[in-house]
Amino acid sequence: MTSIRFDRANALCGAIFIGVGLFFAFQSLSLELGTALRMGPGYFPLFLAGILILLGIVIFIQSLRVDGEPIDPLAWRGMLYILPAPIIFGLTVRGLGFVPALFIASFLASFASQRMRPLGALGLSAAITLFSVLVFSFALGLPFERFGPWLRF
């Protein structure tokens, strides 16, 4: 008797894509769909959900043809540093402003890598913050406070 061999990581990924796609497809059906020329609010989400479902099916089918490696343990360090970063950004952006909130969030997230050192994290955070201010504030002209009321005396 031969056992069925497949790539568990890709099978799980495909199943998650299919599940999320089905969820959003059913959610978009409660909205007006319209036509391809006159799209309603549910048309584009349904279209994207269909693409996600198809991608999940392809990934799942490919996982049945390949003998995969065992799934690695969860990367707890990455989750500990990356997941809180956007939450901290969201909680501080109104009070501190865009520049300090983004700097703090990117500084925290940079430590998800074990190879990151404090000086490298400072440089990376400064570069991300400078790039974001140049793009969002100057190039796109988005109106936001660079420095918020918590920093005004």
Nearest to 63 by CA among 8, 4, 3: 8
Residues 82 and 144 in one domain: yes
pLDDT of residue 122: 97
Number of structural domains the chain divides into: 2
Shared-domain flag, residues 23 and 58: yes
**Residue 88 near residue 39 (C-beta atoms within 8 A):** no
pTM of the model as a whole: 0.61
**Domain match, 44 and 83 both:** no
Ranges of the chain whose pLDDT falls below 50: none
Task: Tell me the backbone φ, ψ of residue 117, rounded to 5 degrees.
Answer: -110, 160
Q: What was the pLDDT predicted at 4?
A: 65
- State whether 61 and 80 are in the same domain: no
Report the pLDDT value the prediction gives residue 3, as an integer from 0 to 100: 62
pLDDT score recorded for residue 39: 86
Q: Please give the pLDDT value at position 68.
A: 62
Here the contacts of 88-92 (C-beta below 8 Å, separation 24 or greater) are none
- Residue 116 has a pLDDT of 93
Structural domain boundaries, residue 36:
8-65
Q: Residues 51, 89: one domain?
A: no
Q: Indicate the DSSP class of residue 36.
A: S
